[in-house]
Amino acid sequence: MCERDQQSQGVAVLKPAGALSVAGISGSRRKRLWELGATAFCPVIGVCLPIAALRSLVEKVLRAPAPASDYELHCCTINECKQRTPVAERLHKELDARYALAVRQAAACKSTEALAQWWALQRRAGDQLPGALWAVLTHPRCDTPCADAVLADVHMLQHQVGAAQRVDLARHAELQAQHAALQRESALLQERCAQALTDKRALIERQAAELVRLRAELIGRDTVIAGLCEQFKALEASVPGLRTRVEQAAQITAQLARIQTLERQASHWQQRAAELQQWRQAQEERLAQGTAAGTPPAPGAEADIEAAQLLREKSVLCVGGRSGSVPIYRRLIERTGGRFLHHDGGEEDSSAQLDVNLAAADLVICQTGCISHDAYWRVKDHCKRHGKQCVFVEKPSAASLARELRAIRVVPAARDAAGPVRVESALER
């Protein structure tokens, strides 16, 4: 193609004087650049030497500016290399120096077949193709068929490289578009980051000002506290025994409040005792009237009287139950003359309080339906270890509690003057 372009441009193609054909070269001397075949100049100049290095070398040899067009420079260099000219000699030295390693490796091939095999290996490797091309074409054992095969391989590789370059250009254009989009996004992110930094600086400045203000308030408060402490010390020093008087006044106030509370409780218990006494008298009179008249007493009356006698002046602990039914439980126990104690079974009251109540109780009523497992086992274990009566009520209702209270009786085996009276419930029986 290069020769046809040169002829169309009126460039005369001259053969070097005394040049030998590729097939006619024999011996161990490597061929020179101007001794190669006519079709070898274009791939050698185009593949083995970069265009920038070629332009610099031609300008140094000719001592004049090279053609501005890369294509014109390529064609003129090919025309110069077809004969032994200063440009051809300088290019030959440059290529030998640039690809000296490949030339030494190819020199180990002593036959055309070995040279062809070495070229095939270098072509498949691909990384040292320019040097392998120069070393093979200038090798003394490279004949015309071998040179034609090498040039054919290079020609097809140039087509493949061109196609790959077109793909790379398309990919490059796509990457450029992506790069532009990423640059725009980066600019927006930088703007947002700058705005966020500005806002953060303003927030830090406001917080710093607030910190200074709070420190000033703290210093002022500490100053006021120090002044008040000094005044208190001065006042305490001026009035001897002031601290003792204040403590005594506080103790007197607490004792008065305690006395008032105890008085209210005593009045309440006196009222409850009077009501209970009246109720007992009414029950005894009703029972006596029924006995005198020969009529049997009302069902449960004797059981109520017996339960009232058993629970009189006894501490009855009710564990569990609904919070709304606690006042009803209290009235039932206090009506029989007992002292009512209550523990919610571990919902709000602590387990330590349960142990204290169990130790103070003479009779324990356990609401099994409204009690935690831990409280249930605590009650059962305590009553078993200390021999206390424990009544288990399955349904947390006032009727169930009243029924169990009426069912409490004295165990005959326990009527011993040497031991305490034990009571049992209907559940035990």
With vertex at residue 427, the alpha carbon angle to CA 426 and CA 429, rounded to the nearest 5 degrees, is: 65
Q: Are strands 363-367 and 423-424 parallel, antiparallel or unpaired?
A: unpaired
For the chain, 429 residues long, the average pLDDT of each consecutive 10-residue run is: 39 35 56 87 85 86 83 86 88 88 87 87 79 86 87 80 65 84 92 93 94 93 91 81 80 90 85 76 72 53 55 79 79 78 77 81 82 84 86 75 65 36 39
Bridge partners (DSSP) listed for residue 204: none
pLDDT at 63: 82
> What are the residue ranges spanned by the domains of the chain?
2-158, 159-238, 254-298, 300-424
Which amino acid type is present at position 131?
Answer: G
pLDDT at 164: 61
pLDDT at 214: 93
CATH 3.40.50.10700 fits 300-424, yes or no: yes
Q: Classify residue 305 as exposed, middle or buried by CB count within 10 Å of its CB (0-12, 13-18, 19+).
A: middle
pLDDT at 291: 57
pLDDT at 247: 84
Phi-psi region of 292 (alpha: psi -120 to 50; beta: other; left: phi over 0): alpha
pTM higher than the cut 0.75? no
Assign 350 to helix, strand or coil. Answer: coil
Residue 387: other Cβ atoms inside 10 A: 10
Measured torsion, CA atoms of residues 142, 145, 150, 153, in degrees rounded to the nearest 10: -170
Bridge partners (DSSP) listed for residue 339: 315
